[in-house]
Amino acid sequence: MKHKHQKIGIILRLLWPALVAGTAIAGLFLQSGCSPGIIAVFGTPTGSETKIPAEYDITLQKGQKILVLVDVSSSLKAHPNLRFFLTDAINKALQQQLKIKPEFLFDYDKIADYRSETSDFTMLSPEQVGSALGADLVLYVVVGDYRVTQEGDSAYLAASLDANASLIKIDTGQKLWPAVEASRLIQVGCESERRGPDVVAIRLASAAARCITRYLYNCPKNTFKISDERTSMGW
């Protein structure tokens, strides 16, 4: 029969490597000037590791061709290239943030050619346009308002863009996103921009693109907030 002190000795020998390792790590933190309290939060996820869950995860649709279809009413006094800027910005966001391969997206020129060659284009539904171009999904974006105003007598511009976005499955006509609303309202804007109307349009298009695509994948928490997004508190 082993005595109590022998059992304690065995336990200490088993734990000794872990105690030595822990002491060494603590020593490194102290030598670098860090507080020992840092050790307690060593495993806390960072903002890039923490994810905001997707409302609809489009990245799971492997091999599906996605058409970004942007509609800008001719009655709006919008930038003449706004449709291109938005399409291009959303395609880039899908590639860079969601890692969608470019072969599963449609270049703006292909859409523009089909638009100009089709006399009744404005009468077609997003599903009909997508089907004609060979897409599986349509990310449909309708610009409802676009405003640019000059701030007094200065060269500074203030601008805003409102759009509604939805994701549609072409073969069934099912709206995949958003789940409840008919579409997701996107509102972006900027103030005191002095680099001209072209830069304003590109800036708003980029902000709108990020506001849309962030809902379609598990977005890192530290990139979910968009600086040019308009809110009731800030506007």
> The domain that contains 164 carries what CATH number?
3.40.50.10610
What pLDDT, on a 0 to 100 scale, did the predictor assign at position 35? 47
What pLDDT, on a 0 to 100 scale, did the predictor assign at position 48? 62
* Residue 232 in domain: no
Measured distance CA(175)–CA(78) in Å, rounded: 28
Measured distance CA(207)–CA(187) in Å, rounded: 9
What pLDDT, on a 0 to 100 scale, did the predictor assign at position 21? 47
Per DSSP, helices labelled H in 32-172 are 82-96, 108-117, 126-133
What pLDDT, on a 0 to 100 scale, did the predictor assign at position 233? 42
CA 171, 173, 179, 185 torsion-angle sign:
positive
32 and 66 co-located in one domain? no
What pLDDT, on a 0 to 100 scale, did the predictor assign at position 221? 94
195 and 91 co-located in one domain? yes
14 and 71 co-located in one domain? no
What pLDDT, on a 0 to 100 scale, did the predictor assign at position 92? 98
What pLDDT, on a 0 to 100 scale, did the predictor assign at position 199? 95
10 and 117 co-located in one domain? no
Per-residue pLDDT of the chain (235 residues; tens, 9 = 90+): 545 555 545 444 544 455 444 444 444 343 444 444 444 455 666 656 799 999 999 999 999 999 999 999 888 989 999 999 999 999 999 999 999 999 999 999 999 999 999 999 999 999 999 999 999 999 999 999 999 998 877 789 999 999 999 999 999 999 999 999 999 999 999 988 988 999 999 999 999 999 999 999 999 999 999 999 996 444 4
Query: Which residue range is the domain that position 31 belongs to?
Result: 4-41
What pLDDT, on a 0 to 100 scale, did the predictor assign at position 40? 41
74 and 154 co-located in one domain? yes
φ and ψ of 229, to 5 deg: -70, 135
62 and 127 co-located in one domain? yes
Q: CB-side exposure of 164: number of CA atoms within 13 Å? A: 7
